[in-house]
Chains A and B, each alone.
Chain A
């Protein structure tokens, strides 16, 4: 068996509005569209993902928040109807997904060996969170690739941002080790919005895009600054500014998916590709890609 590897990673935010705007058959609510630039960004990301030919998708979601340690979905098949607790008018989605339990267990073991508290979720009636589902639908609506679902441990909120990032760094390294030993081609998904300042009222027609714009100019400026650094491949600076970004843009990346993914990829100093940026009820959302395999091939060609 050849060594497994992380082929790439995406920032893949989960506003349910994107699913609602697309009107897939799984979602009960119907729309006239909306948030097209972001949905088209996901279209580009879907093409990239297709070319990556992954065996497994690993997703870390802020909306499975766990108090005691880092949890992993550990049931081979999960299905049900996911209703968003905040935007239930928009998102009532019938999901059915397959879990790569073997890899999930390996990630869980590696993380425990590195000192983190971890747990396998074995309850077959578990309702998968809407963040995980939205991200997975937007990046791969066919649902034909097994997944590893990882919870967001509450440490960045309960302890401090720094301690949270430290745990996510460890979790990322553990994830990489497990993937390498698995022999599989893996793609990582950080299910995070950037600036999280949002409007407090929803338009009567939620998809009325004449009402959609950044809620906060500060948040917008932060997002642009951070995206530009990512596009330059300057992740050192991204991580140096991370706590400030979290604080001043109320960024959802605080919940850990983003630092987890960067750590797992080894903080690659390669330019990230921005597929698109847009706001959803005022929050900042970027669809971004780090294609590690392509970057390695480019390096090899140059050498």
Chain B
């Protein structure tokens, strides 16, 4: 089996930077469970897709062997800085770039120091892969790709890992409902902005917990129709494309990130 574990995790830096804030604490605790489960699955590489890394031309892949430095989020800069420590599995990244041609998608690696890696990728890596020991394969969210292309890309990446005989852990980094508070709030009182979003988030999480890929895809379709979701939930499309079928999931945490919905979910493969 190539994919040995798969997780949905939030890309907001808030639960990471303020783990003591009560409404965010469950998400941080959920992230710790993911770290343990992920490490236990002994992956050779982490396959990452974060809704916050935008591409508009080619499909981009992070090709820098080692990225270090400090990152300050453009919105949440007052909550603190994030340490960057990302290592790429450059062999697998190279194979993914080459593999894109076979599925008709133009692709390119980015290999530059000070590249503006997105907050979600940094937060997730810091939570689950402290010290950056597990090498990464990070794919951008091309804004012009729909769920279909996104699934195809993920499946292609798994195929390449399979060819290299590597075990993959999959991280889908992003939120649920996207509506947030657009004015200052007391973060101790953070909650999901709209009740309808809260209900829709819970329904989707139920469907993931108790479904398989087919029923979860249907639930995702309904969720996207009724809810303004984070990037149309393409991170879940990525995960579905990578895992193929799955047998339910464990929802480790669900909560708000400044009004938007977020969850930590571990899929049963």
Residues of A within 8 A of B (CB): 64-69, 80-83, 85-86, 88, 92, 117, 119, 121-123, 125-127, 129, 151, 154-155, 158-159, 198, 200-202
Partner of A92, one of B53, B72, B75, B114: B114
Of B3-11, B20-28, B175-183, B241-249, the segment with at least 4 beta carbons within 8 Å of chain A is B175-183
A88 touches B112 (CB 8 A): yes
Residues from chain A with Cβ under 8 Å of B116 in the complex: 83, 85, 127
Partner of A117, one of B77, B115, B183: B183
Q: How far is the CA of A127 from the CA of B72 in the complex (A)?
A: 7
B184 touches A117 (CB 8 A): yes
B50-72 to A contact mask, C-beta < 8 Å, 1/0: 00011111100000000000111
A83 touches B112 (CB 8 A): yes
List which B1-60 residues lie within 8 A (CB) of chain A: 53-58
Residues from chain A with Cβ under 8 Å of B74 in the complex: 64-66, 126-127, 129, 151
B77 touches A121 (CB 8 A): yes
Q: How far is the CB of B102 from chain A (nearest CB, A)?
A: 18
Interface residues on B, range: 20 to 34
B170-206 to A contact mask, C-beta < 8 Å, 1/0: 0000000000111110000000000000000000000
Partner of A201, one of B58, B75, B112, B180: B58
Instruction: For B183, give the chain A residue with the smallest CB separation.
Output: A117
Q: How far is the CA of A82 from the CA of B115 in the complex (A)?
A: 8
B112 touches A200 (CB 8 A): no
A-B contact count (CB 8 A): 75
Instruction: For B181, give the chain A residue with the smallest CB separation.
Output: A68
Partner of B182, one of A65, A82, A151, A154: A154
Is chain A's binding surface mostly helix, strand, loop or mixed? loop
Q: How far is the CB of B14 from chain A (nearest CB, A)?
A: 12
Q: How far is the CA of A67 from the CA of B178 in the complex (A)?
A: 11
Interface centre among A65, A82, A86, A159, by most B CB within 10 Å?
A: A86
B54 touches A122 (CB 8 A): no
Residues from chain A with Cβ under 8 Å of B184 in the complex: 68-69, 117
Q: How far is the CA of A65 from the CA of B75 in the complex (A)?
A: 8
Q: How far is the CA of A69 from the CA of B78 in the complex (A)?
A: 14
B182 touches A155 (CB 8 A): yes
Instruction: For A125, give the chain B residue with the smallest CB separation.
Output: B72
Q: How far is the CA of A267 from the CA of B151 in the complex (A)?
A: 48
- 9 pairs across A/B with beta carbons < 8 Å? A68-B184, A80-B114, A81-B113, A83-B116, A92-B112, A117-B182, A122-B78, A127-B72, A200-B144
Q: How far is the CA of A151 from the CA of B73 in the complex (A)?
A: 13
List which B135-149 residues lie within 8 A (CB) of chain A: 144
Instruction: For A86, give the chain B residue with the smallest CB separation.
Output: B56
A66 touches B72 (CB 8 A): no
Asked if B106 lies at the interface with its beta carbon under 8 angstroms from chain A, I say yes
Residues from chain A with Cβ under 8 Å of B75 in the complex: 66-68
Q: How far is the CB of A62 from chain B (nearest CB, A)?
A: 12
A125 touches B182 (CB 8 A): no
B70 touches A125 (CB 8 A): yes
Partner of A83, one of B53, B81, B106, B114: B114
Residues from chain A with Cβ under 8 Å of B55 in the complex: 86
Residues from chain B with Cβ under 8 Å of A80 in the complex: 114
Residues from chain B with Cβ under 8 Å of A200 in the complex: 56-57, 144
Q: How far is the CA of A69 from the CA of B74 in the complex (A)?
A: 12
